[in-house]
């Protein structure tokens, strides 16, 4: 049809917002999309594939891999969803299904909601929940926290993007990010047209962070005219799992003070620490609060937490919070305004934040089961991290630091030259090529290191250690078999 072919669309790949076009997000990129396609094939009964199921190790998504949610949390949520369960008529039956402390907690939360989980809440998040978050922070750190400085968010991601969007006034504004990093940061910097200012973690030292490296990276960027305004630290690290020491963190806080940088502390893995004696979690809020007065009272800190990780694992609920310290009050007004345009974070997610920061306590009816579930998930994560770590290190040309924390391993693979040539011939980066071959051979979906950043001519991938423990032998055996065969082919 002639007239149709003359029609120019209003929105095309060519004329769209280039900043959107420039965003890259590997965690759900080519590998993940291919894994989805293969999953659909399996569901349609395709038997031509080398595996019977897709194992999604591309994303920290515990309940996708059969982690059972915490019973107490879900019992409370069920009662809040359907408050008629607590009507006079239904209460006797409900009492047989729900422990008394669950019922009490649901009633308390309902009261703080004004009874309406279906209503928009305060844009900053429900006041009573922010008070519980502040109490949790104060108990964790030993320093006070102010509910007015806390914002409930749509996962941690939503909060990170809100703050970065405010910081990036123009395309000269830079934000220091670790390499390797969780690609939310590079994606958001691309979207808001800011400059990533990379600092490298030291693979040879358990992915440790060196403040000399911070200093050099900052200096180089400022020498190039970049207006560096903030430093992102992911602790425990993602994808690298490192846990910072107190001393290292105090250096960071001093570094921010000396260089007038806002510190963005991504602390979503704070309960995922697997060497709690040697490397316990410390929050940047605590370290900053214990710094000398001029530092403590000046350095701007935003710290992020989430219900998606830890032993909670409620990713799909999109809940989280951030706490602001020392921010300009007029900036805080702007934070509020932007939260209000989005109306409010979803209320179920807010309630899960409440449950995470205020779980059953010793003496409560639900405590033994809660404790057993939380401890069970934690111990299992620790065992799985160690098993996968050993398995990677047993493979030819693979070396892998232990996961001090978080949910991932980030092994390095020395790819043979023949593999690199084959990748080039296939039009792929070498690490992409390796991971695609792994997916085809095993159904296991991991993410190439290039999605997180890595030094030139090194190749890594990120894998979660979340497959169910009873399937771990099989999972590891498959990875090992694939890797041997890959090496045999290209050695």
Please, which of residues 82-121 interact with a second copy by CB under 8 A? 82-85, 90, 93-94, 96-97, 114, 116-121
Within residues 280-309, the interface with a second copy by CB under 8 A covers 293-294, 297-298, 300, 308
CA pair distance 263, 162, nearest whole angstrom: 15
Q: Is the dihedral of CA 95, 96, 97, 102 positive or negative?
A: positive
> How many CB atoms are located within 10 Å of the residue 52 CB?
8
Distance in angstroms (rounded) separating the CA atoms of residues 178 and 91: 53
CB closer to a second copy out of 335 and 398: 335
**Interaction of residue 44 with a second copy, rule CB under 8 A:** no
In the list 202, 328, 379, 424, the residue contacting a second copy (rule: CB under 8 A) is 328
Start-to-end CA span in the chain (Å): 55
Which residues 3-22 are close enough to bind a second copy by CB under 8 A? 3-4, 7-13, 15-18, 20-21
Is 58 within 8 Å of 446 (Cβ atoms)? yes
Least separation in angstroms between CB 340 and a second copy: 4
Q: What's the min distance (Å) between Cβ of 329 and a second copy?
A: 9
Beta strand ranges found along 180-300 (DSSP E): 195-200, 227-234, 262-266
Q: Which residue of 49, 128, 279, 331 would you call a contact of a second copy, by CB under 8 A?
A: 331
The single residue among 109, 150, 187, 244 that binds a second copy, judged by CB under 8 A, is 187
Of residues 148 through 167, those in contact with a second copy by CB under 8 A are: 154-155, 157-158, 165-167
The residue among 90 and 245 lying less far from a second copy, judged by its C-beta, is 90
Contact pattern for a second copy over residues 212 through 251, marking x by CB under 8 A: -----------------xx---------------------
- Asked if 464 is part of the footprint of a second copy (rule: CB under 8 A), the reply reads no
Cα 274 from Cα 287, distance rounded (Å): 21
Contact flag: residue 470 with a second copy (CB under 8 A):
no
Altogether, the residues listed in the chain come to a count of 491
Give 50 or 93: the residue with its C-beta nearer to a second copy.
93
Query: Per the structure block, which two tokens stand in for 133?
Result: 């978050």
The least distance separating a second copy from the CB of residue 421, rounded to whole angstroms, comes to 30
- Distance (Å, rounded) from C-alpha 312 to C-alpha 375? 11
Alpha-helix runs per DSSP H in 346-491: 347-357, 367-393, 417-425, 430-442, 472-490
Residue linked to tokens 């051979």: 441
Considering only 42, 128, 138, 327, the residue that binds a second copy (CB under 8 A) is 327
When binding is defined by CB under 8 A, the residue of 245, 348, 380, 386 that contacts a second copy is: 348
Smallest distance from the beta carbon of 341 to a second copy, in angstroms? 5
Residues 399-438 that bind a second copy (CB under 8 A): none
As given in the structure block, the two tokens for residue 192 are 């808001």
Beta-ladder partners of 301: 263, 325
What mask, x for binding a second copy by CB under 8 A, covers residues 471 to 490?
--------------------
Q: Using CB under 8 A, pick the residue from 346, 371, 386, 397 that binds a second copy.
A: 346
Please report whether residue 337 would count as binding a second copy according to CB under 8 A.
yes
CA separation for the pair 465, 389 (Å, rounded): 9
Asked if 278 touches a second copy (CB under 8 A), the answer is no
350 neighbors 381 (Cβ within 8 angstroms):
no
What's the min distance (Å) between Cβ of 327 and a second copy? 7
Rounded Cα distance, 398 and 484, in Å: 11
Chain centre distance of CA 338: 22
User: According to the binding rule CB under 8 A, does residue 260 interact with a second copy?
Assistant: yes
Residues 6+ apart with CB under 8 A from 172: 195, 225, 226, 227
């Amino acid at each position: 049809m002639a007239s149709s072919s003359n029609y120019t669309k209003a929105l095309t790949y060519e004329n769209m917002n280039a900043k959107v076009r420039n965003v890259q997000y590997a965690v759900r990129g080519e590998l993940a999309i291919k894994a989805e396609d293969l999953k659909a094939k399996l569901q349609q009964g395709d038997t031509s594939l080398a595996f019977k199921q897709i194992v999604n190790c591309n994303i920290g998504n515990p309940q996708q891999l059969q982690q059972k949610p915490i019973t107490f949390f879900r019992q409370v949520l069920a009662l809040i969803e359907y408050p008629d369960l607590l009507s006079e008529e239904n209460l006797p039956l409900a009492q047989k299904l729900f422990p008394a402390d669950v019922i009490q907690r649901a009633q308390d939360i309902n009261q703080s909601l004004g009874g309406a989980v279906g209503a928009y809440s305060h844009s900053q998040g429900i006041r009573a929940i922010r008070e519980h978050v502040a109490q949790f922070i104060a108990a964790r750190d030993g320093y006070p926290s102010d509910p007015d400085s806390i914002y409930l968010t749509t996962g941690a991601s939503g909060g990170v993007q809100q703050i970065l969007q405010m910081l990036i006034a123009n395309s000269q504004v830079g934000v220091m990010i670790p390499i390797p990093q969780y690609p939310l940061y590079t994606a958001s910097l691309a979207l808001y047209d800011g400059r990533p200012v990379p600092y490298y973690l030291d693979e040879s030292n358990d992915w440790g962070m060196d403040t000399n490296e911070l200093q050099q990276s900052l200096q180089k960027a400022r020498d190039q005219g970049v207006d560096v305004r903030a430093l992102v630290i992911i602790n425990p690290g993602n994808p690298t799992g490192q846990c910072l020491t107190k001393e290292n963190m105090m250096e960071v806080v001093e570094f921010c003070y000396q260089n007038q940088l806002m510190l963005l502390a991504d602390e979503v893995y704070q309960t995922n620490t697997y060497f709690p004696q040697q490397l316990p979690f410390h929050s940047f809020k605590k370290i900053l609060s214990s710094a000398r007065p001029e530092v403590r009272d000046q350095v701007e800190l935003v710290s992020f937490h989430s219900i998606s990780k830890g032993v909670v694992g409620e990713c799909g609920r999109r809940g989280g919070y951030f706490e602001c310290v020392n921010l300009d009050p007029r900036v805080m007004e702007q934070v509020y305004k932007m939260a209000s345009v989005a109306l409010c974070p979803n209320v179920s997610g807010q309630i899960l934040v409440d449950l995470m920061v205020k779980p059953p306590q010793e003496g409560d009816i639900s405590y033994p089961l809660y404790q057993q579930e939380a401890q069970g998930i934690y111990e299992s994560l620790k065992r799985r991290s160690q098993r996968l770590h050993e398995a990677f290190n047993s493979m030819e040309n693979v070396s892998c630091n232990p996961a001090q924390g978080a949910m991932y391993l980030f092994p390095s693979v020395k790819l043979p030259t023949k593999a690199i040539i084959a990748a080039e011939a296939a039009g792929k980066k070498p690490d992409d090529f390796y991971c695609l071959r792994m997916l085809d051979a095993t159904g296991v979906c991991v993410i190439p290191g290039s999605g997180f950043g890595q030094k030139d001519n090194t190749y890594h991938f990120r894998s979660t250690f979340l497959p169910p423990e009873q399937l771990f032998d099989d999972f590891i055996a498959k990875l090992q078999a694939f890797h041997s065969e890959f090496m045999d082919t290209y050695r």
